[in-house]
């Protein structure tokens, strides 16, 4: 009986040898493709594509070989499943073949696509490199800096099988505008591995704001302030200007927090110009309403207590998407509500300031999808950011993304949105399309703009949508 079993599975070792040999050849070919000498020379010249027929035909024959191997392995898997159930070798053999199949399919996906329309008599004809890049070629070949090439290429798993996330490799990504801003991105990624990074956060922010977002990770050590001191305890940090030594000021017009808090000095930014003035500007916000005209009752401000009382005890976590120093999060903390403050450093160290106050900064541009899962936040608040400059289509994408992360019953707080009076109805339609319940909804004239602009504020509640 043992001899019969041995005969029945005698084909397995020979098949292992054949599959192993093919896998070794595929790995060698793949390594030669990813780590060729071309990475050390300029690759954007036409001379690198002087013999595209040979490269294209090699890719074509490699694909044909992989297709044949994949077909044979699938046939062997089907044959293995037909073996008697009492066999203990069948499942192990089948699992082995599935792993090998996953490896080969991963290599097949990494090869460039060969379009049959490019073939002449069965062979590809010469195509200019700029045209080839548009046809699913390796994105890494577009860049000259080796660090970018290494970052954007697929990273296969070392165990050569699917990881716990269900993927055969890691697919690192960059924003689509990174290809348009090639020069700036290559400057950003030009560094020595393990060395100190350049003081180039403004270049990084420029890339992000212009759509090169997400940026690639880097393998250099971030710069820190030369004389960083211990942060203040949370009992003091919320309403005290921090130590100037805890910020790198080289890229700012102001070189200390006193300059930022002073209403006279030129600061290099205009959005939230008084945000660093804790005593007169920030301290009363959201606890005392601000009236444009003291003789009137007109205000676009809602108080935090008014909003929290709409759903008592239900607001616990949220997002503040604004330009500011975290005062909204500080005030909500007094009501045991945790707020993440999303902001960028527009001329001032807004993110550093938020963190030094003991709050949570989120360095995020409007270009990117929010890094929160669906139906998770109780509150989204925005002020001084989404105003009349924003495109209507972009506003739609932003609002629908906010709707995605707000839980049913969550609140959307639009705080002092302002625009031209002639555009108001169009913007209001964008908010109405969410079909949220209106708790508060007010529009008032913006008196410092000759009655040409208006303020709009609202508190809206997301409906349940049980479908």
What is the tens place of the pLDDT at every residue in 195-232? 999 999 999 999 999 999 999 999 999 999 999 999 99
| Co-location of 253 and 362 in the same domain | yes
- Whether 167 is in a domain gets the answer no
| Co-location of 127 and 244 in the same domain | no
Which parts of 82-128 fold into alpha helices (H)? 89-110
- Least Cα distance to 187 among 196, 174, 200 occurs for 200
Residue 221 to residues 151, 193, 200, 226: CA-CA distances in angstroms? 17, 9, 12, 14
Surface-to-core class of residue 311, CB atoms within 10 Å of its CB (0-12 exposed, 13-18 middle, 19+ buried): middle
Q: How many CB atoms lie within 10 A of CB 234?
A: 11
Domain count, the chain: 2
Q: What is the pLDDT of residues 79-106, one digit of tens each?
A: 766 666 555 555 556 666 666 766 666 6
| Co-location of 271 and 406 in the same domain | yes
Close Cβ partners of 157 (under 8 Å, ≥ 6 residues apart)? 163, 167, 168, 169, 170
Q: Which of 109, 137, 165 is the last residue of a domain?
A: 137
Q: Indicate the SS3 state at residue 35.
A: coil
- Integer Cα distance of 228 and 404 in angstroms: 39
- Residue 464 · residue 408 · CB < 8 Å: yes
| Co-location of 133 and 267 in the same domain | no
Tokens coding 57: 């035909």
- Whether 81 is in a domain gets the answer yes
| Co-location of 239 and 94 in the same domain | no
**Residue 337: predicted pLDDT:** 97
**Residue 63: predicted pLDDT:** 73
Tokens coding 20: 């192993």
The CATH number that applies at residue 265 is 3.40.50.150
Cis check for the bond before 214: say yes or no (omega within 30 of 0).
Answer: yes
- Integer Cα distance of 240 and 73 in angstroms: 68
- Residue 427 · residue 395 · CB < 8 Å: yes
Domain that holds residue 457: 235-461
Strand partners of residue 411? 379, 461
- Integer Cα distance of 122 and 298 in angstroms: 76
Q: Which of 122, 137, 152 is the last residue of a domain?
A: 137
- Whether 151 is in a domain gets the answer no
HSE, CB side, 13 Å, CA atoms: give it for residue 179: 11
| Co-location of 125 and 248 in the same domain | no
| Co-location of 264 and 390 in the same domain | yes
- Whether 169 is in a domain gets the answer no
**Residue 269: predicted pLDDT:** 74
- Integer Cα distance of 354 and 372 in angstroms: 20
- Whether 415 is in a domain gets the answer yes
- Whether 170 is in a domain gets the answer no
- Integer Cα distance of 286 and 35 in angstroms: 58
What is this structure's pTM? 0.70
| Co-location of 443 and 336 in the same domain | yes
Q: For residue 453, how far is the Cα from the chain centroid?
A: 34
- Integer Cα distance of 218 and 187 in angstroms: 12
- Whether 179 is in a domain gets the answer no
Q: Which of 99, 119, 137 is the last residue of a domain?
A: 137
Residue 197 to residues 91, 128, 276: CA-CA distances in angstroms? 51, 36, 29
Per-residue pLDDT tens, the chain, 467 aa: give them. 444 444 444 455 566 666 666 677 666 655 554 444 444 444 443 334 334 444 455 566 677 777 777 777 777 777 766 666 555 555 556 666 666 766 666 666 556 555 544 444 555 444 444 444 444 456 777 888 888 888 888 888 887 778 787 888 888 888 889 999 999 999 999 999 999 999 999 999 999 999 999 999 999 999 999 999 999 999 999 999 999 999 999 989 999 999 998 877 677 777 788 899 998 889 999 998 887 666 677 788 999 999 999 999 999 999 999 989 999 999 999 999 999 999 999 889 999 999 999 999 999 999 889 999 999 999 999 998 888 888 999 999 999 999 999 999 999 999 999 899 999 999 999 999 999 999 999 999 888 767 789 999 999 999 998 87
**Residue 130: predicted pLDDT:** 40
- Whether 300 is in a domain gets the answer yes
**Residue 203: predicted pLDDT:** 96
**Residue 53: predicted pLDDT:** 42
């Amino acid at each position: 009986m043992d001899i019969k079993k041995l005969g029945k599975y005698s084909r397995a070792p020979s098949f292992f040898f054949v599959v192993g040999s093919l896998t070794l050849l595929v790995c060698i070919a793949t390594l030669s493709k990813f780590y060729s000498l071309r990475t050390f020379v300029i690759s954007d010249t036409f001379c690198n594509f002087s013999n595209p027929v040979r490269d294209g035909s090699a890719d074509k024959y490699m694909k044909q070989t992989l297709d044949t191997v994949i077909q044979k392995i699938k046939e062997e898997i089907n044959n293995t499943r037909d073996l008697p159930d009492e066999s203990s070798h069948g499942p192990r053999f089948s699992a082995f073949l599935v792993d090998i199949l996953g490896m080969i399919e991963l290599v097949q996906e990494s090869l460039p696509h060969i379009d049959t329309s490019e073939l002449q008599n069965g062979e590809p004809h010469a195509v200019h490199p700029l045209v080839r890049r548009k046809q699913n070629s390796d994105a890494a070949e577009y860049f000259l800096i080796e660090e970018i090439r290494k970052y954007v290429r697929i990273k296969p798993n070392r165990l050569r099988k699917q990881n716990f996330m269900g993927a055969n490799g890691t697919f690192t990504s960059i924003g689509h505008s990174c290809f348009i801003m090639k020069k700036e991105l290559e400057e950003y990624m030009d560094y020595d591995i393990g060395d100190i990074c350049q003081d180039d956060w403004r270049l990084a922010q420029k890339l992000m704001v212009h759509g090169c977002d997400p940026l690639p990770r880097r393998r250099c050590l971030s710069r820190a302030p030369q004389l960083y001191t211990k942060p203040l305890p949370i009992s003091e940090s919320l309403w005290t200007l921090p130590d100037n030594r805890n910020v790198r000021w080289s890229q700012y017009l102001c070189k200390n927090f006193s300059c930022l808090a002073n209403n006279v000095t030129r600061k290099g930014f205009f959005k939230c110009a008084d945000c660093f003035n804790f005593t007169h500007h920030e301290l009363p916000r959201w606890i005392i309403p601000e009236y444009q005209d003291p003789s009137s009752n007109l205000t676009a401000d809602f108080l935090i207590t008014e909003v929290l009382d709409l759903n008592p005890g239900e607001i616990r976590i949220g997002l503040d998407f604004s330009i500011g120093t975290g005062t909204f999060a500080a005030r909500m903390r007094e009501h045991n509500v945790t707020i993440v403050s999303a902001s960028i450093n527009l001329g001032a160290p807004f993110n550093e300031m938020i963190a030094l106050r003991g709050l949570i900064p989120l360095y995020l541009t409007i270009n990117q999808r929010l890094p929160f899962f669906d139906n998770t936040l109780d509150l989204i608040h925005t002020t001084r950011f989404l105003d009349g400059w924003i495109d209507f289509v972009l506003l739609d994408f932003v609002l629908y993304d906010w709707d995605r992360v707000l839980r049913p019953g969550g609140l959307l707080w639009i705080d002092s949105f302002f625009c031209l009076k002639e555009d108001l109805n169009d913007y209001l339609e964008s908010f109405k399309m969410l079909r949220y319940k209106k708790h508060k909804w007010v529009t008032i004239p913006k008196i410092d703009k000759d009655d040409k602009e208006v303020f709009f504020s609202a508190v809206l509640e997301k409906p349940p949508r049980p479908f």
